[in-house]
Amino acid sequence: ESTRSKLIRLLADAKESYISGQQLSEQLHISRTAIWKHMKELEKDGYVIEAKPKTGYRIKEYSGNVSSNTITWGLNTSWIGKEIIHKPTVTSTQFVAHQAARDNTPHGTVVIADEQSSGRGRMDRVWHSKKGKGVWMSIILRPKIPPYMAPQLTLMTATAIAEVLDQYDGLQPKIKWPNDILIQNKKVAGILTEMQAEQDRIQYVVVGIGLNVNQDNKEIPDAIHYRATSLKMETEKEWPIIDLVQQILEALEKEYESFLKKGFRDVKSKWENYGFRIGEKISLHSGSKKKEAVFLGIAEDGALLIESSNGETEKIYSAEIDWFVE
Ligand code: BTX
């Protein structure tokens, strides 16, 4: 853990009271001058720090700016986000994360940006990532699981995000298989999981999360208006991005640990609590074949489980799905 994040934790724990420079210097094993320099850095991040002669330091005002420091502040995780790479503008946080992963950045590293100039969805689709209006981040994981299980990480991530949003009244998030988070039938978040693997071993996985937070109606591109939304559009208020990032990282750490310990079963049942249109009729096409079926839920391996019109249960791994059948 860096000195900066230890300092942040000490100041955050002290809340309203002052901590002396002497005390900080002893606990962090750095000079008083070094502490003063750290304080100046925190001020650049938007914190208002009070330094009282002979008494010490305390935080007068917290910062709402997204930065590696402000996310670390009060983040209650043990390994996700111990390293945070924040950039104002990137092409895609996925791109930055892949690079960092190749440079051996640790398990749990988070890459986050205010804005993406070419945010990506699945299959080279575009992900609109307006400056300062959403959570655009990628998390590097190094799970010791076989590559075929990687798609389960997507379902796990979707579950964690749905759980965070579900804590707020009136959002009622749903997960559209495999990875869209919907509110009132409109997409509020998407997940893109990419992995680098050998035959039987994952080198690393990059889980990308895009969550629309503070866009107004007019800030959502016309072409996707009818199927995209933001937390602000749903609730008519601004949401604090830092808090959401912290809550997502905390939920993700918890889900990940339980996934490794207990396997996919637990994720599956939680996922199904939020499953969009479970028990209803959907229509599937792959190639020129088209059929209607009842959506039952997900299988033990994360596949889509359907009941065909002849009454047989079937697992589906990929198909174009039409979710609305009259
Ligand atoms: P997806 O392929 O399921 O969804 C992409 C589709 O969603 C687009 O074709 C478009 O119709 C629609 N769309 C585009 N932008 C938005 C938006 N902001 N809100 C709602 N709908 C939209 C989903 O892919 C995965 C998205 C992952 C995004 C994260 S952001 C951080 C990381 N970096 C990066 O480049 N991608 C990931």
Atom of ligand 1 minimally distant from the CA of 118:
35
> Domain residue spans in the chain?
3-61, 68-274, 281-322
pLDDT confidence of 78, banded at 50, 70, 90?
Answer: very high
Supply the CATH classification number for the domain 3-61.
1.10.10.10
Of the candidates 180, 160, 184, 161, the residue with the CA atom closest to the CA atom of residue 172: 184
pLDDT tops 90 at residue 253: yes
Q: What is the pLDDT of residue 326?
A: 64
d(CA 140, CA 59): 31
Please give the angle made by the CA atoms of 316, 321 and 326, to the nearest 5 degrees: 120
285: number of Cβ within 10 Å: 12
Q: What is the pLDDT of residue 1?
A: 62
Q: What is the pLDDT of residue 9?
A: 80
- At 11-37, the pLDDT tens digits run 888 888 999 999 999 999 999 999 999
Ligand 1 pocket (Cβ < 6 Å) reads 92-94, 116, 119-122, 125-129, 136-138, 180, 187, 190-192, 208-210, 212, 224, 228
Instruction: List, as one string, the DSSP characters of 153-212.
Output: HHHHHHHHHHHHHHTSTTT--EEETTTEEEETTEEEEEEEEEEEE-SS-EEEEEEEEEEE
How many residues would you count in the chain?
326
Contact between 306 and 282 (Cβ < 8 Å) = yes
Residue 220: half-sphere exposure toward Cβ, Cα within 13 Å: 22
Q: What is the pLDDT of residue 69?
A: 87
More confident: 206 or 47? 206
> Which residues are CB-neighbours of 27 under 8 A, at least 6 positions away?
6, 10
Report the residue among 124, 127, 233 best suited for mutation to probe ligand 1: largest number of ligand atoms under 8 A from its CB.
127
pLDDT confidence of 4, banded at 50, 70, 90?
Answer: confident
Q: What is the pLDDT of residue 132?
A: 96
- At 150-165, the pLDDT tens digits run 999 999 999 999 999 9
Question: Given the structure tokens 């059948």, which residue do they identify?
Answer: 325
Of the candidates 217, 45, 221, the residue with the CA atom closest to the CA atom of residue 119: 221
Atom of ligand 1 minimally distant from the CA of 215:
18
DSSP 58: E
Of the candidates 163, 203, 158, the residue with the CA atom closest to the CA atom of residue 178: 158
- Interval between CA 121 and ligand 1 midpoint (Å): 4
Contact between 193 and 208 (Cβ < 8 Å) = yes
- Collapsed DSSP state (helix, strand, coil) of residue 101: helix
Q: What topology is assigned to 281-322 in CATH?
A: SH3 type barrels. (2.30.30)
pLDDT tops 90 at residue 305: yes
pLDDT tops 70 at residue 266: yes
Contact between 130 and 114 (Cβ < 8 Å) = no
Nearest residue (by CA) to ligand 1, atom 9, is 125
Supply the CATH classification number for the domain 68-274.
3.30.930.10
Atom of ligand 1 minimally distant from the CA of 129:
18
- Interval between CA 308 and ligand 1 midpoint (Å): 30
- Interval between CA 279 and ligand 1 midpoint (Å): 27
Phi, psi of 101 (to 5 degrees): -65, -40
pLDDT tops 90 at residue 227: yes
Whether ipTM exceeds 0.90: yes
pLDDT tops 90 at residue 64: no
